[in-house]
Amino acid sequence: MKYSQLFTKTSKTAPADEVAKNAQLLIRAGFVYKEMAGVYAYLPLGLRVLENIKQIVREEMNAINSSELIMTALQRKEVWEKTTRWSDDVVDVWFKTRLKDDTELGLGWSHEEPIVEMLKQYIHSYRDLPVSLYQFQTKMRNELRAKSGIMRGREFVMKDMYSFHATKEDLDNYYQSVIDAYNRVFERLGLGEDTVVTFASGGAFTKFSHEFQTICEAGEDVVYINHDKSVAINEEVVDEAVAELGINREDLQPVKTAEVGNIFNFGTQKTDEMDLYYSDSDGNQQSLYIGSYGIGITRLMGVIAEKMSDDKGLVWPDAVAPFRVSLIRIGESEAVVEKADTMYQRLTDQGITVIYDDRAERPGAKFADAELMGIPHRVTISERLLDGDRYEYTHRASGQTDILTAEELLDRLSQ
């Protein structure tokens, strides 16, 4: 895409009312716009990052035979009353509204109850099981405070998934395949090294649930981790888990983390509360086993922005960058324009996403924008290197610059 056609505007200064680093950077770089505290619009650059994250998650959920659908934001009171979770005393993040006839409606902060209710129409027999469904839903939560930028929104995008099984063993196996799939997601996002599967508080059915916690100074959680990251425990259950797992408390160090995913084994609790049953092969009514699995999509974007940035701005990993290459044209001579146009065409022909800075701006301003936006690779075409087959390549993360031939350049960008 040509920069002259891109809707955005970078800014040298951070907005005064924004304390979170992720939001400061994303606003300055033109990725998001703050509508109000905890509520952000995603401008074209930001939407591209979000869609890249979603696509990675989508591929990994499809790979474990989950099917994508989209539930509704407007939700029925009577569905949530079946589990007592309609009450504002039980769930303190409800936004509620009313139909013209005064019927109360809720705005989806979660979709567990609605999806269980829905499945009463689709699951009758053991032949209908197992089922795994997921969505990318805009959730709304009436948070008292929202100071963490896009890491804790009042309106945010979550991938939530629910699986339904005839037996405990089948749920246990699927639960493990979700852990593996989540690990692949965080690996592909460049967060694998710093993301740990963490013991967290469970429910009626299991002592512990599992969270995926990413080490992050701006995170709101504290997790106790041992030196090789093979054990991690949320501080809320650290005493319990240390006793249960037979670990030395002294081997664990507290670190600040952000919860990027969680998985929860409901057992048959929801089934029983909401009257969802199936008939086994003998025609007997049986309880279903349910698992629930979340990934915070907008939060992940915020965590990446927090962790992968420097004093010049954002530093996106290739997998989520809005464009992989920033092609910067310095000068307006016919020869420079032709060389830059040709390289733009070659790169896009290879399926490489390029933002081509064709503006009549100072070189310094173009470089600064590309750095602030965190485009992983920069290719500069100027009068200086016009003669011969030479291109200036700069790696955003390391700052290393090389003079490459076209072939060497394409080779490097294909990696």
For binding to a second copy (CB under 8 A), which residues are involved?
Answer: 5-9, 33, 35-36, 39-44, 46-47, 50, 65, 67-76, 95-100, 105, 107, 114, 118, 121-122, 128, 131, 133, 138, 140, 142-144, 154-155
Our CB check for a second copy shows the closer of 223 and 321 to be 321
Helix/strand/coil for 338: helix
Our CB check for a second copy shows the closer of 58 and 412 to be 58
Of 218, 226, 200, 212, which Cα lies nearest the Cα of 150? 218
The 10 Å Cβ neighbour count of residue 228 is 7
Shortest distance, position 386 Cβ to a second copy, whole Å: 28
- Per-residue tokens: 114: 């609605």
Sequential DSSP letters for 162-208: EEEESSHHHHHHHHHHHHHHHHHHHHHTT-GGGEEEEEEE--SS-SE
8 Å CB contact between 157 and 284: no
Shortest distance, position 71 Cβ to a second copy, whole Å: 5
Shortest distance, position 374 Cβ to a second copy, whole Å: 18
Shortest distance, position 138 Cβ to a second copy, whole Å: 6
Shortest distance, position 152 Cβ to a second copy, whole Å: 14
Our CB check for a second copy shows the closer of 211 and 358 to be 358
Our CB check for a second copy shows the closer of 136 and 393 to be 136
Residue written as tokens 């989209």?
70
CA dihedral (324, 330, 331, 333) positive or negative:
negative
Our CB check for a second copy shows the closer of 153 and 252 to be 153
Our CB check for a second copy shows the closer of 68 and 273 to be 68
8 Å CB contact between 328 and 177: no
Q: Residue length, the chain?
A: 415
8 Å CB contact between 36 and 142: no
Shortest distance, position 73 Cβ to a second copy, whole Å: 6
Our CB check for a second copy shows the closer of 191 and 300 to be 300
Shortest distance, position 22 Cβ to a second copy, whole Å: 17
Our CB check for a second copy shows the closer of 107 and 288 to be 107
Paired strand residues for 213: 196, 259
Our CB check for a second copy shows the closer of 59 and 217 to be 59
| Gap between the Cα atoms of 280 and 43, Å rounded | 50
8 Å CB contact between 43 and 7: yes
| Gap between the Cα atoms of 104 and 240, Å rounded | 40
Shortest distance, position 34 Cβ to a second copy, whole Å: 10
DSSP 131: E
- In angstroms, how far is CA 359 from the centroid of its own chain? 32
User: Residue 380 is inside which H or E element, if any?
Assistant: strand 377-381
Exposure on the CB side of residue 196, measured as CA atoms within 13 A? 24
| Gap between the Cα atoms of 62 and 366, Å rounded | 40
Shortest distance, position 290 Cβ to a second copy, whole Å: 15
